[in-house]
Structures are given as C-alpha cells and as structure tokens.
C-alpha cells in the first residue's frame, strides 16, 4: 500500500521539485531573432529562457536559489509530499499579518502535483498539513490568492471564493502633491507586519516583500535587467513602501507593489503617478483586489489579467 508523507522541503529536494514542475510543461519555447516564439529543446535553453516558460522551478539552478531563500526564515515554508519516500508534489506557503479582510493568515501560493499522480491524494495531504500549520499558529484563515486553477480541490476542502482581482493600468501624471520618496535601505519583512498591501498583492504582503531583496537573482543577469526602484515614501498622514519595476516588454510602463501603514488614499495614488511621470513612465500597472478598486477614484483600464482568491476559515 502506498504511503503519503508531507514534510518541509530542503535543498536536496531541488532536482525532484524541478522535475514535478517541468513535467507539466507541454512545450518548451524560445524567441527567435525576430521576436517570434518557436519550439525549442530544453537543453538548448538558457536559464532565463527556461524561466520565461516555467518560472523559477524551470531549472534546478534557479529552483535551488529560490528554495534557499524560502528556507532563510520561518514565515515562508516550502513543503513536499512523497509517495513511499519519492517526492511527487510540492507546495509553498507564506504567513502574513495584515488588516482585514485577510488578517493573520497562511497563503498557499504554489501547489504542484506530478501529472502522473493527480488522483492519489497528494493535494489533499498538502492542504491537510497546511491546515494544521494554520491551527498551530492560530491563524484566522487559509487563503489561495490564485485559486482558480485548483478551484475544485479547494472547494472540496471547504474553501470559498471570496475576492476577485485584476491588473489595472493607471496613467502616470505629474500632480500637485507634496511627498518625499527616498531609497529604501532596510529589508526586514518585520517592518510591514500589520500593514496594508493595496497594490501588487498577487499572493500576500509577506510573499511579495521578497521582491524588495536586492541581489537575489544576480546570478541570472537577464532576470534583473529591468530598472527597479525600492522606495520609502512619506506624505501627509501616510507612510508607504513601494517596489517599482519596469515592464520587460514595454519600457514606458512600470509595475507597482505597494505596502502602506494606513489604508490607501488619493494622495498615495497621486504620489505614485507623479513619481512615475517624473521618471519618464507613461503608465503604472498594478494588481488590485475588488475591495481596493473603488478607493482609487481615478479612471483605469484592465489589461485582462485576473485572479480569484479562495479562503477557508479556521
């Protein structure tokens, strides 16, 4: 009889986890000199080209860097599920303390099961283990910020779809707002405990904070090519941290990831738009959940990207 076991991952698991993720890739591709996407053999691709198709787990080398970063602290945890000792599934969680509607919660940001084992209970085993972690730390809920692809599994385990979000395109514009934007020099995630994350919160405030770390991906130069700014913004009644990253395909667009001590207000949006305009950007791209969008009070457009957040109360 097969025995399923869940445990925390370690660096020695990098190759096995990479194999799980790569087994789900139907076709590896690359761009030719004309910019067209063409099929390619995996072994012929650079680390950056593999990342473009499959993300950080598309190669053992990048997966090991990512895994080592997860293992540095106690609030981001990589997990593996094994069948008779062989790794066949992987999950990653981040523990975050934020104001409602999220509160103290555990977010499941990644869940991958080998295609050959999707019906043997590995996903259930991982969710059960994550539920136990949530109870042990007295979290209020478990969330899956991009739960749509695994909606049936989540709903079977008591999750409900509670929020929808979309990536918005906000025009940059110089404005009459007094603020100070300086370079952020401290990157301890503890400083955002209890803070809001109104913009760029694809997963949760703690997980997105790791974007702030300088130098993490210096081993893959093309990955760090876009311009980046790590900002500490102060203005009347508000303090904000912002990570601004130039779009890889559209250099006139910048992606915004924003943490704020107090709820988002119009002055913060004005400051972000002004900063972008002052730095020659035409638009800001920012992901926002449904409860944030009415607060923006400006005309925006969606670029079509959406997510659905599922949650299970504890």
Provide the CATH number for the domain around residue 181. 3.40.630
- Please tell me whether residues 66 and 195 are part of one structural domain: no
Considering the chain, what percentage of its residues have pLDDT values greater than 70? Answer: 100
Residue 155: is its pLDDT beyond 90? yes
Residue 73: predicted pLDDT: 86
State the average pLDDT for the chain. Answer: 96
* Average of per-residue pLDDT across 220-228: 87
For residues 45 and 134, state if they share a domain.
yes
Q: What single-letter DSSP state applies at residue 169?
A: E
106 and 235 fall within a common domain = no
Domain that holds residue 130: 4-144
- Structural domain count of the chain: 2
- 159 falls within a domain: no
CA distance between the termini of the chain: 32
Is the residue at 118 inside a domain?
Answer: yes
Examine the domain organization and report whether 187 and 84 are in the same domain.
no
pLDDT in the model for residue 25: 96
Render pLDDT for 31-52 as a digit per residue (tens, 0 to 9). Answer: 999 989 999 999 999 999 999 9
Residues 12, 88 share a domain: yes
Examine the pLDDT at 1 and tell me if it is beyond 80. no
pLDDT band at 268 (very low <50, low <70, confident <90, very high): very high
Is residue 181 domain-shared with residue 248, that is, in the same domain? yes
Residues 87 and 187 in one domain: no
**What number is the average pLDDT over the span 126-142?**
98
Residue 209 CA from chain centroid, whole number: 9
Q: What is the CATH number of the domain that holds 28?
A: 3.40.630.30
60 part of a folded domain: yes
Residue at 314 is within a domain: no
Q: What is the mean pLDDT of residues 234-255?
A: 96
**Could you tell me which residue, 224 or 211, shows the higher pLDDT?**
211
Which of 70, 109, 114, 120 is closest to 89 using CA atoms? 114
Domain end (from 109, 144, 179): 144
Q: Are residues 223 and 103 in the same domain?
A: no
Q: Predicted confidence band at 136 (pLDDT cuts at 50, 70, 90)?
A: very high
Mean pLDDT of 286-306: 94
Task: Read off the pLDDT band of 196 (50, 70, 90).
Answer: very high
Final residue belonging to a domain, choices 112, 144, 176: 144
pLDDT category at 221 given cuts 50, 70, 90 is confident
- Does 54 fall in a domain? yes
Cα separation, 265 vs 272, whole angstroms = 11
Give a yes or no: residue 155 inside a domain. no
**pLDDT value at position 308?**
97
> Can you tell me which residue has the tokens 């990479």?
18
pLDDT > 90? residue 78: yes
Torsion, Cα 297 303 305 310, to 10 degrees, reads 10
pLDDT of amino acid 8: 98
pLDDT of residue 222 exceeding 90, the answer is no
pTM given for the model:
0.95
Q: Do 33 and 140 fall into the same domain?
A: yes
Do the bridges between strand 37-39 and strand 29-31 make them parallel or antiparallel, or are there none, so unpaired?
Answer: antiparallel
Measured CA to CA in angstroms, residue 42 lies from 34, 47, 48, 152, 254 at distances of 20, 10, 12, 32, 31
Q: Is residue 313 part of a domain?
A: no
Same structural domain, 131 and 202: no
The verdict on residue 156 lying in a domain is no
Can you tell me the mean pLDDT for 86-90? 98
pLDDT surpassing 80 at residue 72: yes
Q: Which regions of 17-140 does DSSP assign to beta strands (E)?
A: 29-31, 37-39, 76-83, 86-97, 104-113
Percent of the chain with pLDDT over 90: 91
Q: Could you tell me if 129 and 179 lie in one domain? A: no
Average pLDDT over residues 3-24: 97
264 and 190 together in one domain: yes
């Amino acid at each position: 009889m097969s025995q399923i076991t869940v445990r925390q991952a370690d660096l020695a698991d990098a190759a096995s986890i990479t194999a799980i993720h790569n087994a789900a890739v139907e076709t590896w591709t690359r761009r030719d000199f004309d910019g067209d996407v063409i099929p390619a053999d995996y072994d012929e691709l650079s680390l950056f080209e593999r990342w473009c198709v499959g993300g950080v787990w598309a190669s053992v080398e990048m997966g090991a860097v990512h895994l080592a970063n997860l293992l540095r602290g106690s609030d981001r945890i990589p997990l593996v599920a094994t069948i008779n000792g062989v790794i066949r599934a992987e999950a990653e969680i981040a523990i975050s303390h934020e104001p409602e509607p999220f509160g103290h919660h555990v977010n499941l940001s990644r869940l991958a099961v080998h295609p050959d084992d999707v019906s043997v209970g590995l996903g259930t085993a991982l969710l059960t283990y994550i539920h136990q972690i949530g109870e042990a730390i007295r979290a209020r809920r478990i969330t899956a910020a991009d739960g749509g692809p695994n909606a049936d599994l989540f709903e079977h385990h008591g999750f409900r779809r509670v929020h929808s979000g979309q990536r918005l395109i906000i025009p940059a514009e110089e404005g009459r707002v007094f603020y100070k934007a300086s370079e952020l020099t401290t990157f301890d995630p503890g400083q955002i405990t209890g803070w809001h994350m109104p913009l760029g919160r694809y997963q949760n405030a703690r997980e997105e904070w790791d974007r702030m770390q300088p130098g993490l991906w210096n081993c893959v130069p093309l990955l760090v090519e876009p311009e980046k700014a790590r900002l500490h913004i102060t203005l009347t009644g508000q303090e904000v941290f912002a990570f601004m990253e130039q779009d890889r395909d559209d250099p006139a667009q910048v992606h915004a990831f924003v943490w704020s001590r107090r709820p988002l207000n119009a002055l913060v949006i004005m400051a972000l738009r002004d900063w972008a305009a002052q730095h020659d950007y035409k638009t800001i791209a920012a992901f926002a959940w449904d409860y944030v969008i009415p607060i923006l009070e400006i005309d925006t457009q969606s670029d079509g990207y959406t997510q659905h957040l599922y949650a299970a109360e504890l």
